[in-house]
Amino acid sequence: MERDEKLQERIAKHPCYSEDAHHHYARMHVAVAPACNIQCNYCNRKYDCANESRPGVVSELLTPEEAAHKALVIGGKIPQMTVVGIAGPGDPLANPEKTFRTFELIAAQAPDIKLCLSTNGLMLPDYIDRIKQLNIDHVTITINMVDPEIGALIYPWVHYRRKRYTGIEGARILHERQMEGLQALKDADILCKVNSVMIPGINDHHLVEVNRVIREKGAFLHNIMPLISAPEHGTHFGLTGQRGPTPKELKEVQDNCSGNMKMMRHCRQCRADAVGLLGEDRSQEFSKEKFLEMAPEYDMEQRATVHEGIEKFKEELKVAKDKALAGKKIANSPKVLVAVATKGGGLVNQHFGHAKEFQIYEVGGNEVRFVGHRKIDQYCQGGYSEEASFEHIMKAIADCKAVLVSKIGNCPQEKLQEAGIKTVEAYDVIEKVALEFYEQYVKELGN
Ligand code: CLF
Ligand code: SF4
Confidence of residue 143 (pLDDT cuts 50, 70, 90): very high
The predicted pLDDT at position 334 comes to: 85
Instruction: Give the model's pLDDT for residue 343.
Output: 87
Ligand 1, atom 4, residue with closest C-alpha = 16
* Of 74-83, 255-264, 373-382, 421-430, minimum mean pLDDT range: 373-382
- Atom 2 of ligand 2, nearest CA residue: 49
Q: Is 339 exposed, middle or buried (0-12, 13-18, 19+ CB in 10 A)?
A: buried
DSSP secondary structure string, 84-116? EEE--BS-GGGSHHHHHHHHHHHHHH-TTSEEE
Q: Is 310's C-beta closer than 6 angstroms to any atom of ligand 1? A: no
What mean pLDDT value characterizes the chain? Answer: 89
The reported pTM is: 0.85
Which tens digits make up the pLDDT trace of 49-70?
Answer: 777 666 667 788 999 999 999 9
* Pocket probe mutation, ligand 2, options 43, 54, 228, max atoms within 8 Å of Cβ: 43
Residue with the smallest CA separation from ligand 2 atom 3 is 40
At 328 the pLDDT is: 64
pLDDT of residue 373: 83
- Ligand 2 atom 6 nearest Cα: 39
Q: Torsion angle of alpha carbons 193, 199, 200, 205, nearest 10°?
A: -40
Which residues is 225 bridged to in the sheet? 197
Residue nearest to ligand 1 atom 10, measured at CA: 270
User: According to the model, what pLDDT value does residue 281 have?
Assistant: 81
pLDDT (mean) for 12-27: 92
384 pLDDT above the threshold of 60: no
264 Cα nearest atom in ligand 1: 15
> For residue range 122-137, what is the model confidence (pLDDT) as tens digits?
999 999 999 999 999 9
Q: Is the CB of 140 under 6 A from ligand 1?
A: yes
Supply the residue whose CA is at minimum distance from atom 14 of ligand 1: 269
Query: Residues 360-383: what's their mean pLDDT?
Result: 77
Domains and CATH numbers, the chain: 2-291 (3.20.20.70), 325-446 (3.30.420.130)
Is residue 275 classed as helix, strand or coil in its secondary structure?
Answer: strand
CA of residue 258 to ligand 1 center, whole Å: 20
Q: Among 204, 217, 334, 218, which residue's Cα sits nearest to residue 257?
A: 204
Residue 159: strand pairing partners: 164
Per-residue pLDDT of 252-309, as tens digits, reads 999 888 776 788 988 888 777 888 888 788 888 999 999 999 999 999 999 999 999 9
The whole-angstrom separation of Cα 126 and Cα 437 is 53
Question: 447 pLDDT exceeds 70?
Answer: no
What whole-number distance in Å separates Cα of residue 214 and Cα of residue 221? 9
SS3 content of the chain, % helix, strand, coil (to 5): 40, 20, 40
CA of 237 to the centre of ligand 1 (A): 23
Regarding the beta carbon of 52 and ligand 1, being less than 6 Å apart is answered yes
Per-residue 3-state assignment (H helix, E strand, C coil) for 366-411: CEEEEEEEEECCCCCCCCCCHHHHHHHHHHHHCCEEEEEECECCHH
